[in-house]
Structure 1
Amino acid sequence: MAHLNRKAAQRMMQAEGMDALLILSAEGFAHATGAAPGVATMWRREGAVAVLVPADPDQPETVVISDLFAANLRRDSHIRDIRESPIWVEAMTIEAPDLDGDLSVLGDLWDGPRRPVGNRRPETFDPAITYGHLRDALAEKGLRAGRVGVELSAVAANGIDALTAALAPTTLTDGTHVARQLRAMKSPEEIALLRSAVEVAEVGISAVRDAISVGVARSDLAAVWSATVAKAGAGRPMTGQWEYISVGADPWGGDAIAAPGDLVKVDVGCLMRGYTSDSGRTFVVGQPRRLQAEMHAALMTGFRAGFDLLHPGTPLSEVHRATQSAIRGRGLGGYSRGHFGHSLGTGPGSEEWPFISADADTRIESGMVLAFETPIYVTGVGGMIIEDQVEITDNGPVSMNRLTHDLVAC
């Protein structure tokens, strides 16, 4: 299912004077089409796939995808204007083959209508073929002389000239911010996936908490996490999981063995159809010492101050300012962190734009899902984190998490 909101896209493009948006990243492709972009995107080079989204929502989108994944796109996406680009993989389809026949049964396929011209396949993929399809689509939509916003964050510096030349006389402008904003606004289906991911992750966090004891190794806790979420995620569209679990005084240490008084930081996530959750809690082996308790209390003060500001219309920079000021005011006077959270989605990592940072020029909008966090890492004491996954509604923030934020003694 595609999640790109055409009405919102129209509003954003009209505000920027754009006639269309050209999406080139793998995650942007999945968001706009509801289908997998295919293996040719593994190198994250421009031209492997493309989605052309006209500003006019009554004009259909155009998709360019590799011939190997075109059938899947036709099955999974609402988009019907699909154009194919050959990749390196030799693949074909034969209906009702005679398995007792000889190789001549394949002969007619070499010259089939969907084979590469001259039956020659590229080393990986050929961006020029993708750009040719886009040039044709722009002409058919009457946009060859138009202004197209391009997801330039997905274009290498040495690739922009070829793209510009191929689509001339179309005027290309940077549409990265529009593509990012569209992905930051989550559909109900995306929110449901992220909520499901949190539910499974919290089952895993609880299992890790229950397994904490003197003598347990970091690798043991990681194994408990992995096994638990695999079981809890059975029957759901779970596509992966990740963990940053640390044990003991070194937040960046290896396979540490838990000793009395050690901190255990659990920063983890599960993926549902590629959408990742991100949650964090901190535990202590036995009762916390005064320094540990006061550090956690400072983080909790900052968490509450920032969380209360997660309302539509609030600048993300203001959330950062309030969070950091509250933490510093509770005794961590020199505390400094570049961001206190981020959006979530289907990117190559667990963090997506926009970030809750001092320099952010973005305001919170209803429909966003943000991971909001207040961590600290002190070698000699250990790692600490408080992190919730938060849905932004018209009425303010709603946490998807249920576990206590307390520094829990195990």
Structure 2
Amino acid sequence: MRHERVLRDARRAGVDALIVLAPANTYYVSGFRAITYSRPVLVVVSEQPVLIIPELEESHARLRSAIRTIRTYSDMALGGLTGKSTSQLAIDLTVDVMRDLGLRGKRVGFEPTSFTVDGHAYLSQAWGEPLVPVKGLVERQRTVKDEEELHLIRVGCELAEHGMRVEVDDSVPGATEVEIMARGNAAMLEVAARRFPDLHITSGSRPVSGEKAVLPHSIPSGRRLRRGDVVIHGTGCVVEGYYSEDERTIFVGSPTSEQRRLFDVMVRAQQAAIDAIRPGVKCKEIDRAARGVIEQAGCGPQFTHRTGHGIGIDIHEAPYFSASDETVLQPGMVMSVEPGIYVDGVGGFRHSDTIIVAESGADVLTKFPKTLAELVVP
């Protein structure tokens, strides 16, 4: 059980129990994922773990949670009478749980980056004993995926390929970004409903074109594609809470010589990074492999972000293919590989693939074509 591994590592960190609050972490530890976290969800990880949820989520939690002891709080009657916020009501119940678990006088850890300043102050006052900040413990566990997690990510990547095919084929002059997005999402969800009816799946698509393609992060709009546009397509699905990522740069009509050159540099940089991936290599070495190709081509200043990131319950999670990340790659890690080049007036150029770190190297899950000849829409 995951909570047992978290407790083992918590004890190694010098605490007897750990209060988990970050939504991705509570889902990872318990198996319960709320639709919204406006009302806090917490897990007290101890020898007898307890899931703490708002009352309205109880039926859902009992269906999904691997933690069988569930305690609930309500913001309906009590909150109105006491004037307390939902966060304070959740913390009050957490303190009651900690007392019931016999944690008085013991070292209790908490996630310092998940609590607000007010929330931490309220918890500290309500508990009345020192709490120990324990940073990144669950996040580190999440970096290596088990077979169930890998299956969900593979499903998401398979669905992303269907969306990408439709979006690329529909990228013709006059089509709007949001029309293309809608058709890509529909394609992914149609296949999801047919092939994976028992899985909870949402889709995400974000084609951006023209002047917006030079923005590493942008949002589709009603802009109509024009001949000569560079378009960056991004597709993916969230399958039982696990993300996937598939991105391709395409051209509406024939690219210019400079666009061809930058596209070629980007493709070579991405392949250099993929070729460098294997267990035992540090994340920063993968960034160095991609960045070296781009810098050698004179485009270093136009590569403004890291080469990739972990993918799982969060779309961006540790570790990172960045110049400073010393994390050593292990089998079962899932990463994006996405070096990019962005030049005003010319275009943005970025492919992104989701890969699994395998014993033999990178297992690339997103297999949509990458060559220039396959990504020009006449």
Q: TM class, shorter-chain normalised?
A: 0.7 to 0.9
Stretch moving more, 327-336 or 194-203: 327-336
Q: How large is the RMSD of aligned CA atoms in angstroms?
A: 2.6
Q: Report the equivalent of 1:321.
A: 288
Q: 1:380 Cα deviation (Å)?
A: 1.3
1:260 is paired with a residue whose SS is coil
Q: Report the equivalent of 1:359.
A: 324
1:270 is paired with a residue whose SS is strand
Does structure 1 retain, via aligned residues, the 8 Å contact 2:282–2:327? Answer: yes
Q: 1:174 Cα deviation (Å)?
A: 2.5
Alignment counterpart, residue 189 of structure 2, candidates 223, 227, 230 = 230
Report the AA paired with residue 218 of structure 1. E
Report the AA paired with residue 382 of structure 1. G
Residues in 2 aligned to 1:302 and 1:38: alpha-carbon distance in whole angstroms: 38
Alignment counterpart, residue 119 of structure 2, candidates 156, 159, 167 = 159
Alignment counterpart, residue 337 of structure 1, candidates 266, 282, 304 = 304
2:276 is paired with a residue whose SS is coil
1:86 aligned onto 2:74? yes
Does structure 1 retain, via aligned residues, the 8 Å contact 2:280–2:330? Answer: yes
1:247 aligned onto 2:247? no
Residues in 2 aligned to 1:20 and 1:309: alpha-carbon distance in whole angstroms: 39
**Higher Cα Rg: structure 1 or 2?**
1
Residues in 1 aligned to 2:65 and 2:262: alpha-carbon distance in whole angstroms: 49
Q: 1:249 Cα deviation (Å)?
A: 4.5
Q: Report the equivalent of 1:377.
A: 342
Report the AA paired with residue 138 of structure 1. M
Stretch moving more, 369-378 or 243-252: 243-252
Q: Report the equivalent of 2:264.
A: 297
Does structure 2 retain, via aligned residues, the 8 Å contact 1:246–1:383? Answer: no
Q: Report the equivalent of 2:106.
A: 146
Deviations 1:323-360 (A, max 9, x none): 2122111331433433222222334xx32233222232
Alignment counterpart, residue 59 of structure 2, candidates 71, 89, 95 = 71
Q: 1:246 Cα deviation (Å)?
A: 1.7
**Identical-residue share of aligned pairs (%):** 25
1:233 is paired with a residue whose SS is helix
Say how many residue pairs are matched: 367
TM-score norm. by structure 1 comes to 0.81
1:261 is paired with a residue whose SS is coil
TM-score norm. by structure 2 comes to 0.87
Q: 1:293 to 1:38 in 2, by over 3 A?
A: closer
Report the AA paired with residue 143 of structure 1. L
Does structure 1 retain, via aligned residues, the 8 Å contact 2:302–2:342? Answer: no
Q: 1:167 Cα deviation (Å)?
A: 2.5
Q: 1:386 Cα deviation (Å)?
A: 1.0
Report the AA paired with residue 49 of structure 1. V
Q: 1:223 to 1:65 in 2, by over 3 A?
A: closer
Alignment counterpart, residue 396 of structure 1, candidates 329, 347, 361 = 361
2:235 is paired with a residue whose SS is strand
Alignment counterpart, residue 148 of structure 2, candidates 186, 189, 199 = 189
Q: Report the equivalent of 2:248.
A: 281
Residues in 1 aligned to 2:180 and 2:300: alpha-carbon distance in whole angstroms: 33
Does structure 2 retain, via aligned residues, the 8 Å contact 1:212–1:285? Answer: yes
Deviations 1:272-313 (A, max 9, x none): 123221110111123332211211121122212222233233
Stretch moving more, 223-232 or 251-260: 251-260
Unaligned 5+ segments in structure 1 are 89-115
Does structure 2 retain, via aligned residues, the 8 Å contact 1:128–1:166? Answer: no
Q: Report the equivalent of 1:42.
A: 38
Unaligned 5+ segments in structure 2 are none
Does structure 1 retain, via aligned residues, the 8 Å contact 2:167–2:180? Answer: yes
Q: Report the equivalent of 1:98.
A: none
1:51 is paired with a residue whose SS is strand
Deviations 1:2-38 (A, max 9, x none): x83633x245324322222211122222221112336
Report the AA paired with residue 366 of structure 1. P
Q: 1:345 to 1:87 in 2, by over 3 A?
A: farther
Q: 1:250 Cα deviation (Å)?
A: 4.1
1:60 aligned onto 2:48? yes
- Superposed counterparts of 1:129-144, under 5 Å: 129-144=89-104
Q: 1:61 Cα deviation (Å)?
A: 1.0
